[in-house]
Amino acid sequence: MLQTIKKIGVLTSGGDAPGMNAAIRSVVRTCAFHDIKCYGIYRGYEGMIDGDFIEMDARSVKGIINKGGTILKSARSKEFRTKEGRQIAYDQLKKAGIDAFVVIGGDGSFTGAMIFNKEFNFPVMGIPGTIDNDIFGTTHTLGYDTALNTVVEVIDKIRDTASSHNRLFFVEVMGRDVGHIALNVGIAGGAEEILIPEEDLGLDRLVESLRRSKKSGKSSSIVVVAEGDKIGKSVFELKDYVDQNMEGYDVRVSVLGHMQRGGPPSCFDRVFASRMGVKAVESLITGKSNYMVGMKNDLIELTPFDQAVKGKSKINKELLRVSDIMSI
């Protein structure tokens, strides 16, 4: 027999991403639409353990769809990784009468939810919120599209000064395990080369590419480097290498860092968040549990948590080729 859901909790967990507030809003309003009570859980699983809950109605989320960050705040919880921590969290949820929760976060947060579901048979649903777009089972993660635009705007600014001074810039962008951001902003920012975790371009090719670019009459160059690039060199080391091994370059470095996580979400991310919030709540209502909501072929679909956390999303190799052609 289907257990009726009466109170749903919502939390944001792990690194924040633009669109998290839009997703919270959607979860809250979809609950209101279906006459289900909704509780915000502060500071991710940490707040769950502390019983840091607040009841949220449709009006409580007004004016947040365009705000970066998360009004529920986020955190990484060590305690939730222990059986004891999760037991306390469960007791807190029960005490508050919460029947199910939606967690907005990355694969670490989903793993936590999956274990929690297994231990307590507690209905859970996930919304992928991370700028890295590194989650299997969805073509997009929430915040990714916004981050791409944020980074491209910054690269446009760096190019202004690069081309005024005939400089070579190494620009480090986020992406420890996957090169989605680097690959896309590299193409969109007109980069000479793009260094990503998935492909070992090799220093030799980088050097050759820069030489060819100079020879072809280009007066300035930008190389986009993902945090976790396969060459294994930081942008500072890359600068040193070029300084020592190549003549005639004025090399500069820029590490974009945390600004990539902020800012008002793009239209895509707001709509995406709104759609996923509806799907998450309505899936819980119809008795589903243990799934991640995501996008496949422009449709909102579910992927079982165990599949989502096992894989990594793959880069599209076509883009590597497009980048090569564009930087001719």
- Enzyme catalytic residues: 132
The one segment of 48-56, 88-96, 223-231, 259-267 that binds a copy of itself by CB under 8 A = 259-267
Shortest CA distance to 306 belongs to which of 100, 114, 119?
114
State the Cα–Cα distance between residues 143 and 50, nearest whole angstrom: 28
| Contact code string over 8-47 relative to a copy of itself, x by CB under 8 A | ----x--xx-x-x----xx--xx-xx--------------
User: If you search the block for the tokens 């199910």, which residue do you land on?
Assistant: 100
Contact partners, residue 180, CB within 8 Å, separation at least 6: 132, 133, 134, 144, 313, 315
Polymer length in residues for the chain = 328
DSSP string, 95-153: HHT--EEEEEE-HHHHHHHHHHHHHH---EEEEEB-TT--BTT-S--BTHHHHHHHHHH
Which is closer to a copy of itself, CB of 114 or CB of 195?
195
Residue 287 labeled ligand binder: no
Nearer to a copy of itself, 6 or 118 (CB): 6
SS (H, E, C) 234-286: CHHHHHHHHHHHCCCCCEEEEECHHHHHCCCCCHHHHHHHHHHHHHHHHHHHC
Which residue, 66 or 82, is less far from a copy of itself as judged by CB?
66
String of contacts with a copy of itself for each residue 202-231, x by CB under 8 A: --------------xxxx------------
Q: Is 6 annotated as a binding residue?
A: no
* DSSP structural state of residue 192: S
Exposure string of 248-278, with b = 16+ CB inside 10 Å and e = fewer, is ebebbbbebeeebbbbbbbebbbebbbbbbb
175 annotated to a ligand binding site:
yes
Q: Which lies closer to a copy of itself via its Cβ, residue 114 or residue 173?
A: 173
Query: Measured from the CB of residue 55, what is the shortest distance to a copy of itself in angstroms?
Result: 16
What is the token pair recorded at 103? 């967690």
Tell me if 325 contacts a copy of itself by CB under 8 A: yes
Considering only residues 268 through 287, tell me which ones interact with a copy of itself, judged by CB under 8 A. 268, 270-271, 274-275, 278
Stretch that binds a copy of itself, among 79-87, 98-106, 110-118, 311-319 (CB under 8 A): 311-319
Is 19 labeled as ligand-binding?
A: no
Q: Shortest approach of a copy of itself to residue 155 CB, angstroms?
A: 9
Shortest distance (Å) from residue 313 CB to a copy of itself: 11
Map the footprint of a copy of itself across residues 60-99, applying CB under 8 A: 62-63, 65-70, 73-75
Positions at the binding site: 15, 25-29, 76-77, 106-109, 130-132, 159, 167, 174-176, 190-192, 218-220, 227, 252, 258-261
